[in-house]
Amino acid sequence: MNVFDLAPVLQRDQSAKSVLMDLLTVSGDKQQALFAKARDVRREHGSDAVKVRGVVEISNHCQKHCEYCALRPQNKKMARYRMTPDTVLDIAEHIVELGIKTVFLQAGQDPKSDDAVCEIIQRVKRQGIEVLLNLGEKSQETYRRYRDAGADSYILKFETSSREMYQRIVGSSLDKRLQCAQWIKDLGMKLGTGNIIGLPGQTIEVLAEDLLLALDLQPNFMSSSPFIPNEDTPLENLGFGDVDVTLNSIALSRIMFPTALIPAVSALEKIRPGGQLQGMNAGANVLTVNFTPKEMRDSYSIYSKDRFVVSLDHALRTIAAAGLEREGGVSVTQLN
């Protein structure tokens, strides 16, 4: 039997969890073989074209208390901002000019930006591109307004599948978050989800359960990000999440979700230079370029104050180094 045959997982066989636990911890040659299998699956399912997204972090106000994130309201050291629609539109126009087809609007969970977001979505959509949101938990009505304004997709990571861990670290209920994910799907937006690897109390068994929860959600986008300790948060003294386990989780996600968009997140690069290239080599097919103006970007420290900021240049070089092409076939040389 092919050791990377995930049929028992996809069929939710009794052995599913132990199969995933074994594969999440592979190293050496076996890890390389897992990555090669993930790349095969990506190619065979026509998912090799790398999607480049342009993210704008439109507000760093947040209602949530996630212990890993410096946007939490308890962090009084952070200067807060909320962009005007005109500012976001100027940035979005620049993103479109660079040939990027997805504008990604990200913020803390900030109800006061809901109205502005609707206006921004409508105006960005006039440029004929995709709008992706990552704005946290909202009412069903607010998700409907976003959808009606033209939003194509929404990322709401479950962060961890453990109800106990979620409650302890995020301070609210996982079921509420999963309800939101269901609303997003039911409204017809594409759903992105994912986990953080390296949270306190997390075991390999929990990470295997994360992948099984993703299997239930059948997301269009799936991400695994290593934990980054963030200054001025309760978890500031914890170590980095394990990059190799994260890469294995990316590879398993690719095999489980052959056509999904799977990012190689900037947190990989922050912990290990070349980490995003390793993510691509493990089966990822998305890179997100940051377009938040520097003065605001410095106050948006979800991945620590000196986070790795992905430029278009870095993204294109990573794509080329992985032997892949950007979606739409725009090569590095064409842009330079």
What residues make contact with ligand 5AD under the rule CB under 6 A?
Answer: 68-69, 134, 157, 159, 196, 225, 227-228, 230, 267, 302-303
Edge-first strand order for the sheet with 51-59 is 221-226, 190-197, 153-155, 130-134, 102-107, 51-59, 286-290
Q: Cβ 156 to ligand 5AD, closest distance in Å?
A: 8
Q: Which is nearer to ligand 5AD, 159 or 242 (CB)?
A: 159
Count other C-beta atoms under 10 Å from residue 43's C-beta.
12
Q: Are 19 and 215 in contact (CB under 8 A)?
A: no
Shortest Å, Cβ 115 to ligand 5AD:
22
Question: Distance of alpha carbon 91 from its chain centroid, rounded?
Answer: 21
The answer for residues whose C-beta is within 8 angstroms of residue 23's C-beta and 6 or more apart is 4, 34, 248, 252
The count of other CB atoms within 10 Å of the CB of residue 100 is: 27
Residue closer to ligand 5AD (CB basis): 100 or 267: 267
* Nearest approach, Cβ of residue 49 and ligand 5AD (Å): 24
Q: How far is the CB of 136 from ligand 5AD (least distance, A)?
A: 8
**Residue 69 or 289: which CB sits closer to ligand 5AD?**
69
**Of 190 and 326, which CB lies nearer to ligand 5AD in the complex structure?**
190
**Comparison of 286 and 324: residue with beta carbon closer to ligand 5AD:** 286
State the DSSP string of 106-129.
EESS-GGGHHHHHHHHHHHHTTT-
Name the minimum Å distance from CB 84 to ligand 5AD: 22
| Residue 309: CB minimum distance to ligand 5AD, A | 15
Query: Residue 100 and residue 310: Cα distance in Å, rounded?
Result: 14
The token pair that represents 127 in the structure block: 């440029």
CB 223, min distance to ligand 5AD, A: 8
Residue 140 CB contacts under 8 Å (≥ 6 apart), including other chains: 183, 187
Closest to ligand 5AD by CB, 16 vs 132, is 132
Closest listed residue to residue 255, CA positions, set 79, 44, 27: 44
Q: Which is nearer to ligand 5AD, 43 or 176 (CB)?
A: 176
Rounded to a whole number of angstroms, the minimum distance from the CB of residue 46 to ligand 5AD is 28
How distant, in Å, are the alpha carbons of 283, 295, 300, 329, 331 from that of 334?
A: 25, 30, 32, 10, 5
Residue 303 or 308: the one with the smaller Cβ distance to ligand 5AD is 303
